[in-house]
Chain A
């Protein structure tokens, strides 16, 4: 009898990293469907192109540059690609998408050593690069259901007639009351507003998120503290000057906060390891997001706040390490 002498424990969880990643993809599906419904097939095309090219590029890099010949995809690149696609505007072209994917996968991920080693959320690295490189395309938002009025929905030739400012954009330039007069909270909640393809429908993002949360796949403290901080921070400013700063609900629903807090900030690789650390991380992102929105020249702050806090995670992890059993809190501190 040939006996296996592999090390204990001999039982292992049935989970795998690939399952974790595919669950994230499943969780994003309701929002993908909603976005396609709101923005048309071109939205689906952008998201799929981004997702598939990211996975292919990742495969090529791991197989032929890192030389892991029998590598089987772990699907993390698909998650990155899909999230990047969801963070784009309808006006980007195919080569802009590919450049964004290249930056996300190569600079966001592989220069650090690949899966698990990167400090910054790769999708956001790609996105921020695109914002800087293609500012016009990246901030041209089409109106929901524009495609009902134009024949060619894939090429977007006549897009100009159907663009509109995002809710946060209007709030930034014309005040938040103007924004609210154009889009109701309900519109924002189900996603009938101009904005990044995948960020607009809070409802469907939350549905997918609940699936992940029920499966225990998410660092729950992160979105709760992030959104909670935005709520409290904007609540304070709203109390000071309701005309100028906008309601807390507006800030939660109007921009990329829901997508960012539920699916980008919670990226396992780039968020802290302990509840305590995740709390500080969420708090930091909440504050930075609101500071940018109120005082920055750019209407949205989610991407930047996540990237800034990503940079602090190694420090947060050191500070927030758990107390070792049988040691007093003081001893751990020194």
Chain B
């Protein structure tokens, strides 16, 4: 059968079987949570609570501070014990963290909500999504309400729900589709209603056949269509997903809305349902805790801001000697943690613990121009060449050759027989270029 896909890409081993059949368990409340004010893409939120203040679960504790920014809410009913700096493994910077200690079980402070979402206008829905602090839960953490605010002169025509879940190990989106099917479908209907789009597509990789079947059954008769995608990394990358489903390409340097498309991850869709129907701001989410380094991999609903070590207590770690690295996310794009006592983010769809024996030592060789990196790059870049330009700080030429188009998917590094750190170089080079641009103004 010909499944939909994009050009390029790689086939890392899937490893989904470790947690695929594990039902989502709700974890007991942590004693303390640590909320990064940078819990989303864009400007950090501004704290609106003081140390010593009592807060309810769902109460706003920090406010969005720019167009691309998001509100932050308390995941616990408790007391603000401090606002301190902690390392943010994603950026390497130290960021402000609001520390909240639990004093009792949940006492919720809810947003306005209604079982019948059509009682709201579309502006009200977008505003509620903004109030609820919802960001892209696939990992990118882009504020959801911004996607729904269509710029003048543009028109949203297609809604795509990203359920590709192409990273190895991670199974939370798949579990969500199986266990929260009706809620997700309702979430999609809310999005259709709020955006005025006629039809939604759900893109799912073929290796999640149960989810595909369930979704097809439950969406029968609705204007939601399931699109089966080839299992290939990075099938869930926004541009590649759009390309597979619509055959259109997001213009270089542009956004999906430039070609009339908006994309939400399935778990984000669930969060939107929870906010609009139940009035719950984004304070908890699901994640897979998995990898060869954990004893009992599984899927869990956890409060955002729980420390990674506390989360991992629920699955048990194997012999520490054999643990190589612990990641926010999966093995292709996951961010390695410098230590295990760091808090989780809104975007943490998985914590993956990798062992030494599955990560064999690799040797470095010079580039042999094997062209593998060129043929797997989903963007059509020439990684071997970009690497040369980045390393020699020839940024102008690198830019001419599409440096900024790199989606940092890591397919090139994955495939390189010479173990060359291609994606890492591009990440750094892109940062440098952005910094230079800022300085020039």
Residues in chain A within 8 A of chain B (CB atoms): 1, 3-20, 72, 74, 76, 114-117, 219, 268-271, 273-274, 321-327, 331
**Residue numbers in B under 8 Å from A269 (CB-CB):** 368-369
Chain B residue with Cβ nearest A217: B370
Smallest CB separation, A324 vs chain B (Å): 4
Q: Is the CB of A115 within 8 A of B366?
A: yes
Q: When the two chains form their complex, are residues B339 and A327 in contact, meaning their CB atoms are under 8 A apart?
A: no
Contact between A10 and B331, CB atoms less than 8 A apart:
yes
Q: A3-B323, A325-B249 are in contact. List 12 more A-B contacts (CB 8 A).
A: A4-B325, A5-B338, A7-B413, A7-B423, A10-B334, A10-B359, A11-B168, A12-B416, A13-B10, A17-B368, A74-B365, A115-B365
Q: Contact at A327–B252, with CB atoms within 8 Å? A: yes
A327→B258 CA distance, assembly (Å): 13
Q: Closest CB-CB distance, A304 to chain B, in whole Å?
A: 22
Measured CA separation A11–B359 after assembly (Å)? 7
| List of B residues within 8 angstroms of A9 by Cβ | 12, 331-333, 410-411, 413-414, 423
Chain A residue contacts of B324, Cβ below 8 A = 3-4
Are B13 and A11 in contact (CB-based, < 8 A)? Answer: yes
B417 is contacted by which of A19, A114, A327 (Cβ under 8 Å)?
Answer: A19
| Given A9-B410, A327-B252, A3:B371 Cβ within 8 A | no
B239 and A322 form a contact (CB under 8 A): no
Given contacts A19-B417, A323-B380, A324-B405, contact A11 B332 (CB under 8 A): yes
User: Within the complex, what minimum Cβ distance (angstroms) separates A207 from chain B?
Assistant: 23
- Which residues of chain B are near A114, meaning CB under 8 Å? 366
Interface residue B326 (Cβ < 8 Å from any Cβ of A): yes
Measured CA separation A7–B377 after assembly (Å): 18
Q: Does B18 contact A (CB under 8 A)?
A: no
In this complex, what residue of B is CB-closest to A13? B415
Majority secondary structure of chain A interface residues (helix, strand, loop or mixed): loop
Tell me, in angstroms, the Cα distance from A115 to B366 when the chains sit together.
Answer: 7
Whether a CB of chain A sits under 8 angstroms from the CB of B181 is no
Closest to A20 in B: B417
Contact with A along B122-150 (1 / 0, CB 8 A): 00000000000000000000000000000
Whether the Cβ atoms of A3 and B340 lie closer than 8 Å is: yes
Kindly name the residue among B10, B339, B370 whose own CB sees the greatest number of chain A CB atoms within 10 A.
B370
Per-residue A-contact encoding for B361-386, CB less than 8 Å = 1, 0 else: 01101111111001001111110100
CA distance A324 to B249 in the complex (A): 10
B115 lies within 8 A of chain A by Cβ? no
**Which residues of chain A are within 8 angstroms of B339 by Cβ–Cβ distance?**
1, 3
Interface residues on B, range: 35 or more
Interface pair B370/A20, CB less than 8 Å apart: yes
Give the secondary structure class of B's interface: loop
A5's closest neighbor in chain B, by CB?
B336
When C-beta atoms are compared, the residue in chain A nearest to B370 turns out to be A268
When distances are taken between beta carbons in the complex, the residues of chain B under 8 Å from A19 are 417
B365 touches which of A7, A17, A327 (Cβ 8 Å): A17
Complex A-B: 7 CB contacts under 8 Å: A6-B325, A9-B423, A13-B415, A16-B365, A117-B366, A322-B381, A323-B380
CB-based contact B366/A116 at 8 Å: yes
- Is B217's beta carbon under 8 Å from chain A? no
List the A residue with the shortest CB-CB distance to B415.
Answer: A13
Nearest chain A residue, comparing its CB with the CB of B421: A7
* With A1-B320, A8-B423, A327-B252 as contacts: A76 and B368 at CB distance below 8 Å: yes
Given A3-B340, A8-B423, A10-B359, do A15 and B417 touch, yes or no (CB 8 Å)?
yes
Is B327 an interface position by the 8 A CB rule?
yes
Q: Does B250 contact A (CB under 8 A)?
A: yes
B251 within 8 A of A: yes
B418 within 8 A of A: yes
Once bound together, how far apart are the Cα atoms of A115 and B417, in whole Å? 14
Among residues of A, the one whose C-beta sits closest to the C-beta of B327 is: A10
Within 8 Å CB of A271, what residues of B?
A: 369
Q: Are A324 and B363 in contact (CB under 8 A)?
A: no
**Minimum C-beta distance from B248 to chain A (A):** 10
* Chain A residues whose CB sits within 8 angstroms of the CB of B85 once the complex forms: none
Could you tell me which residues of chain B, from 90 to 107, have a CB within 8 Å of some CB in chain A? none
A16 touches B331 (CB 8 A): no
Contact with A along B210-251 (1 / 0, CB 8 A): 000000000000000000000000000001000100000111
Residues in A with CB closer than 8 Å to B402 are: 324
Say how far B376's CB is from chain A's closest CB, in angstroms: 10
Contact at A274–B334, with CB atoms within 8 Å? Answer: no
In the complex, the chain A residue whose C-beta lies closest to that of B352 is A10
Cα A270 to Cα B369 in complex, Å, equals 8
- Which A residues lie within 8 Å of B168 (CB)? 11
How many angstroms from the CA of A17 to the CA of B420 in the assembled complex? Answer: 11
> Is B374 in contact with A325, judged by CB distance below 8 angstroms?
no
- Chain A nearest CB from B210 CB (Å) reads 25
On chain A, the residues within 8 Å of B86 by CB distance are none
In the complex, are the beta carbons of A116 and B252 less than 8 A apart? Answer: no
B340 pairs with A1, CB closer than 8 A? yes
Residues on A with beta carbons closer than 8 Å to the beta carbon of B362: 12, 16
- Contacts A3-B338, A273-B382, A324-B381; A12 near B419 (Cβ below 8 A): yes
Decide if B252 touches A326 in the complex (CB within 8 Å): yes
A18 cross-chain contacts in B, Cβ below 8 A: 363, 365
Q: Which of B168, B369, B401 has the most A CB atoms < 10 Å from its CB?
A: B369
CA distance A45 to B329 in the complex (A): 55
Within 8 A of A (CB), among B301-326: 320, 323-326
Say whether B393 faces chain A, with CB atoms less than 8 Å apart. no
Asked if B68 is at the interface (CB within 8 A of a chain A CB), the reply is no
Q: Is the CB of A16 within 8 A of B417?
A: yes
Question: In whole Å, how far is A96's beta carbon from the nearest beta carbon of chain B?
Answer: 29
Provide the bound-state CA to CA distance between A7 and B327, in Å.
11
A104 and B377 CA atoms in complex are apart in Å by 33
B176 within 8 A of A: no
B111 interface residue (CB < 8 Å to A): no
Residues of B within 8 A of A74 (CB): 365
Q: A279 CA to B427 CA in the complex, in Å? A: 32
Instruction: Name the B residues within 8 Å of A7 (CB-CB).
Output: 336, 413, 421, 423-424, 427
Q: Which 5 A-B pairs have the closest CB atoms?
A: A9-B410, A17-B365, A7-B424, A326-B252, A322-B380
* Least Cβ–Cβ distance between B405 and chain A, in angstroms: 6
In the complex, residue of chain A having the shortest beta-carbon distance to the beta carbon of B335: A8
Contact partners of A10 in chain B: CB under 8 A: 325, 327, 331-332, 334, 336, 354, 359
Closest to B407 in A: A325
Query: Among residues 400 to 439 in chain B, which have CB atoms less than 8 Å away from a CB atom of chain A?
Result: 401-402, 405, 410-411, 413-419, 421, 423-424, 427
Contact A13 B414 (CB under 8 A): yes
B29 beta carbon closer than 8 Å to chain A: no
Known: A11-B331, A326-B249. A115 touches B363 (CB 8 A): no
CB-contact partner of A3 in B12, B325, B333, under 8 A: B325
Which residue of the partner chain B has the closest CB to A325? B379
Task: Tell me, in angstroms, the Cα distance from A292 to B26 when the chains sit together.
Answer: 76
